[in-house]
């Protein structure tokens, strides 16, 4: 019963947080692609591009982990490759850097297109809630695996 409630909660998180964030991220990449190569200093573009690339890693990783969790459950989720989890962790760290850059840009005197560019990079921070849910379910899968192997002995 607890697993069904957890899956329902995750479906709600997916519909309210993951889906809109992914759509906004993809629209932001499409719309702001030209801005990346015009009018910015090289160092600033590098930071913004890194935020976008690692947030993309997080979007790919969280959707992969969400599909694994919803189709196969927490036990298989706990056995998912570490590379996917590292992509998720790196993406979360860079999207939170995007939030700090957004706060910095808002309090300095910058152009509007730079603010919108950083804003789309910082949208990845909304995916932290479903990511934490997946991490907790993965740990629960580890516990279920250890309990089931302990009963077999």
CA distances from 132 to 65, 66, 127, 138, 152 (A): 12, 12, 9, 10, 31
Q: Enumerate residues 6+ apart whose C-beta is below 8 A from 28.
A: 116, 117, 119, 120, 121, 123
Domain coverage including residue 68: 2-152
pLDDT in tens, 90-136: 888 877 776 777 777 777 766 655 565 566 556 777 888 898 999 99
DSSP assignment letter at 15: I
- Cβ atoms of 125 and 102 within 8 Å: the answer is no
Question: What's the total number of domains in the chain?
Answer: 1
SS percent in the chain: helix, strand, coil, step 5: 90, 0, 10
Length of the chain: 153
Instruction: Annotate 30-51 with b (16+ C-beta within 10 A) or e (fewer).
Output: eebeebeeeebeeebbebbeeb
Whether 137 has a pLDDT exceeding 50, the answer reads: yes
Give the residue, 34 or 122, on which the prediction is more confident.
122
- Start-to-end CA distance of the chain, whole Å, equals 27
C-alpha 101/C-alpha 117 separation (Å) is 11
Query: What is the chain's mean pLDDT, rounded?
Result: 78
Is the pTM higher than 0.75? The answer reads yes
pLDDT at residue 36, as a whole number: 53
Whether 67 has a pLDDT exceeding 90, the answer reads: yes
* pLDDT bucket at 68, cuts 50 / 70 / 90: very high
């Amino acid at each position: 019963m607890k697993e069904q409630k957890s899956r329902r909660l995750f479906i709600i998180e997916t519909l309210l947080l993951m889906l809109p964030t992914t759509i906004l991220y993809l629209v932001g990449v499409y719309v702001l692609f030209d801005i990346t190569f015009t009018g910015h200093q090289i160092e600033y573009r590098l930071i913004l591009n890194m935020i976008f690339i690692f947030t993309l890693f997080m979007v790919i990783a969280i959707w992969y982990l969400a599909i694994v969790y919803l189709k196969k459950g927490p036990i298989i989720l706990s056995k998912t490759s570490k590379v996917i989890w590292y992509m998720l962790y790196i993406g979360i760290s860079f999207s939170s850097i995007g939030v700090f850059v957004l706060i910095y840009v808002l309090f300095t005197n910058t152009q509007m297109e730079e603010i919108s560019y950083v804003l789309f990079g910082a949208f990845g921070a909304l995916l932290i809630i479903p990511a934490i849910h997946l991490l907790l379910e993965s740990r629960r899968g580890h516990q279920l695996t250890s309990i089931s192997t302990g009963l077999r002995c």
